[in-house]
Every structure is written in C-alpha cells, then in structure tokens.
Structure 1
Amino acid sequence: MPDPVITAAASQITTCRANGHVPVIRTFFDNPTFTATHVVHDPATRSAAIIDSVMDYDPASGKTDHDLAQEIVDYIAAEKLKVEWVLETHVHADHLSAAPWLQERVGGRLGIGDAILRVQDIFGKLFNAGTRFARDGSQFDELFHDGARFTLGSLPAIALHVPGHTPADMAYIIGDAAFIGDTLFMPDYGTARADFPGGDARTLYHSIRRLLSLPDETRVFLCHDYMAPGRDEYAWETTIGAERRGNIHVHDGVDESTFVQMRTARDATLSLPNLIMPSVQVNMRGGNLPEPEDNGVSYIKIPVSKS
C-alpha cells in the first residue's frame, strides 16, 4: 500500500526541481563532534532555517561557548536572512544544541518531532530529573507529527518521522532537499547506531527504506560524518540514489534480517559518545541547561552503577 507521506514528499521534490524552486544550503561543520549544522534558505524570500546546531562544551571544565553558532549568526547577517525555524532532527547524544542561544539572536521557532515526549519520559526517569522537568514537549515551539506540512518562506516542507536511532528522529524535506539527521551516513560509512534507550535496529531499517523510497535525485544532507577509511575529506551531502546503490550497510538488496543482525553486532562493539551525559540532559530540554540549583549553578548528572 502506498505511503501517503512519502508520496506527498516525492511529489514536492519532483515539482520543486522541475520549477527550479530549490533551497540554498550552507553547512557549518563542527570537527570535535563531527556534526554538520545546515542553514537552508529560500532564495525568493530569504527565509531561513537552522538545522541541528552545536554549542561548544568542554566536559572537563563544564565550560560552554558558542564559536560555531556565532559563525552562523554572522552568516545570517551577511546574507540578510530571516530565520523562521530552528529545527532539531532528534535529541542528540553526541553534541549539545545551541538552539536557545541562536533564538535569542536571530529568532525562529524551535521544532522537533512529537515523539520527543517519549524521549523525555525515558531520559527524565534515567536521570531522575524530578517533577520540575516538564515531559510534555513544552520546551519546544512546534512538535511535528509524521506528514506535517509547513513552509520556509515560499518553499513547501514536510516532516517525516524516521525512528530507530531514537524514538523521535525526524527528517525534514524542504523543497527538493532532505535533512535526515542520524539515520544514514555517507554511503561509504553506513548507518546510525540503534542501541540507545528507545532505539531499535528493526525500526531503523524500516525508516531507512522509507527514506530510500524518495526520488533518486533527492539531495540528502546528513547530521554527521566520521570520514570513512580511504577518504580524506569530511562530507555531508549525497543523494537518495547514491545511498540506494552504494550504502555499505543498507543498499538495495539488503533485507531486514541481514541489516538487523549486522547493526546489532556492530552496536555491541561501540563505546558511548563522549558527550552523551551532558548532551541528552540539555537536548531533552530544548538546548537549555538543567534548572539551576539553590546556588545558581546548573549541574549535569552522571548515574553511577555498583556493578
């Protein structure tokens, strides 16, 4: 049975490409966390969105900074862009979001998938966040459901739910471009892990096949690149066709059971991201630090296991 959301997204992509109504994309890459932040704008209206921003964080000292985010602010000013959206593809476990800092300087509505409520429930319990931590998504301005339509200036856009890496992963199809977060990496690197709380390799496979049903010519922008062996430059743009033909984990012909077996075995060998503890606690709050304690200082919790 046809997927109506994918059908709508495919139609949007084809129409935008045929009409030349496509977004301009500038990417800012954060080497310490291997994260690509995309600034996408409509050339007709100069309306812009910032996708998956990064706040600098030193885990040894607890110091935060915004050097990369400032580069984005400077670019937006130089290009005379109007920020409508600050979008998160999911609650990241490898970097801290700069969304609130950016909103203070350039505006925009903060959006994420509506399954953030499940993520907030899972990690609110894991970190014993207490009753002051709202688990209703109210830290965000917009909670997108699967198939939600929105606009970026005069560009049409569709939100696509692609869980598996986490329960709340979203892809945003803006014009002819898909911003897919942590689902696929460059074809020579493969796919995202699925072993975080609420993640699932089988669900990830179905989300990826959903993405790979988009037109081959769809431009695809990734959230991370870890530079596969044999490549000497970071990359974050590919196409659906390139992923279908050449992704080393999930190219056409790889069935569900083969993928799940591979992904599960591979995940068992991976260590946790260096910034997972601060990242999740900040990002589940929409990029805000935990509420300050009675001394006015915010703290990151680290659960301790006796075994």
Structure 2
Amino acid sequence: MSLVVAVQMDPLDAINIAGDSTFALMLSAQARGHRLFHYAPEDLNYSDGRVWTRAHPVSVQRVEGNHFRFEDPVSLDLGEEADVVLMRQDPPFDLGYITATHLLERIADRTLVVNDPANVRNAPEKVFVLDYAEFMPPTLVTRSLDEARAFLAKHGEIVIKPLHGNGGKAIFKVGSDGANLSSLIEVFNTAWREPHMVQAFLPSVAQGDKRIVLVDGEIAGAINRIPGEGEIRSNLAVGGSAAKAELTEREKQICAALGPELKKRGLLFVGIDVIGGEWLTEINVTSPTGIVAIDRFNGTDTAALIWQAIERRVAERAA
C-alpha cells in the first residue's frame, strides 16, 4: 500500500533530526514507499467544501544539515489527493491550532487525519486528563488567588503551570510559606485569560517523569525523563535526561483505562506523562514526542508501529 501523506508541521530546517518524532515518522513513511508532502498550517485554504494547501513534495534523509529536499510546490487538495494528513505542528494550542482542526475536520470523512482533528480539539493535554482524576495528583484549575492559597494550605507545596502550556515552559514550584504565590497568580492572570493548573507538588518527580507512548490505544514503549540538577522539570527540551524505563503495575492500569477511549476517539499516537510510577499528569495528543528515545533504549521501531496502525485504518476505511 503506497499512500500520499501530507505532513502539517513546523519548518523542516528548524528541527533536531536526532530526536524529532515527526522526522522519524517521515523517514519511516518514505521507507515504506509512501509519498510525502510538507506544508505549514497557515497555508491551509477552504472554499466550496474543499480544503487545499500549497505543499512541497519532500524527501528526507538522516544527514545533519542536509536532511530534506523540497521539490517545486504544488496545490494539494487534502480531501481528494491525500490519503493521510499528519497534524504534527508543535503547540501552543491557540486559535491558529484550533482553526486548523476545524478545517481538517471538513475532510476527515475522506482523508485519515492523525490524530483525529475534532478529538484533538476536544482533548487538550491538561483538560482531557481530568476525565481520569482517579489517577491524578490533587489538582485545582483556577484563576483565583484565594483558591490557590487554600489549596497550598491543604497540600503544603504546590506547582503552578499554564493550562495550555507545553514543553515544560512556565512551571513554578511554590513552597509552604507561599512566597511569590500572589505574584505568580498575578503574572499568570495577566498572561493568560484561561484558568491555570495548580497541583500538589510530588517529591517523587526526582525519580523521573515517565513518557509512555500508546499507539492506537496499545502500549508501544516508555522512557523515564530525569530532571536536571536544581530542576523540578524533566522535559528533555528544558534539560532533562532520558533513561530506560519499565512500566509499574499502576502505569499499566492507567494505560488499560485510557486505551479504549483513545482508540475510539481516533487518537492514534498519544504520549502520557506519569510521575513517580503512579501519578498521571498529562495526555498529549497534539504533537506527542519521545519515540526516538524510546526506540534507542528499547531497540524498537515505534514509527513502524504507528504506520502499521495508520495503514490498517486506511484499509478499513476503504473496505
């Protein structure tokens, strides 16, 4: 099965090919005989039921500084000329991101969009996870300083982060004395109109924040991300380090609870974050990462698993 694959993503010249999950997916697709096109989300167009974009046919290779080659751009009708759209641009999950999901939703009955655009829109990382509160640390969603103070008094130490943040950005720990809490809430309320996420601080974060990848609802692998010296954040983008990981029984229980719902929603490539082997903090559906590190530690091929799931979905839709 040879597919036409349109990859909606950030500029290719800016990626780190050593660890970029989208690049790994593109390499795998190319090796399987699929034809690749690259475009940016801001290049989407709509008229009379059609969604199209200016896209570059592209080939990729794992050569630093010479990792892709564009052909002349073409007008690509995503509903008629593409078999698969990979929605892989990085957050922020802003109105631009949301608008792209609305446009792609209009061709999702004809072209497989991964992940499903309507369900990406309806499952923000730190909001969707609230459906699984039984696995989460104590959590408050608020803009209120008084509520945050009461939560701090109850839990001793807390972490505050943007509800739609990504990559470990703007995550702050507040100690039991509450120093800077009012200033932080003031800054957060100025920067963001939506509420913020406040959670009980988990000392077990020092043992790592595990990224577990699920493909079509099934566990594909995991890595443990260890915070850097003097850090509470373990994201690799902010200095965390990766280590080989095995899943705890609690983590397997979490995956078993999530898996059927992810599959039903068309959330085919998902990365969940679990702290200390037991506390679920995020369900990442917009542009999950981590498969390169997982495969390096485990000798697996997660990109191939994802393409097998995509090809299976395409075949089922065509039947």
The structure richer in helix per residue is 2
Q: Could you state the TM-score of these two structures normalised by the residue count of structure 1?
A: 0.25
User: Is the radius of gyration larger for structure 1 or structure 2?
Assistant: 2
The structure richer in strand per residue is 2
Q: Could you state the TM-score of these two structures normalised by the residue count of structure 2?
A: 0.25
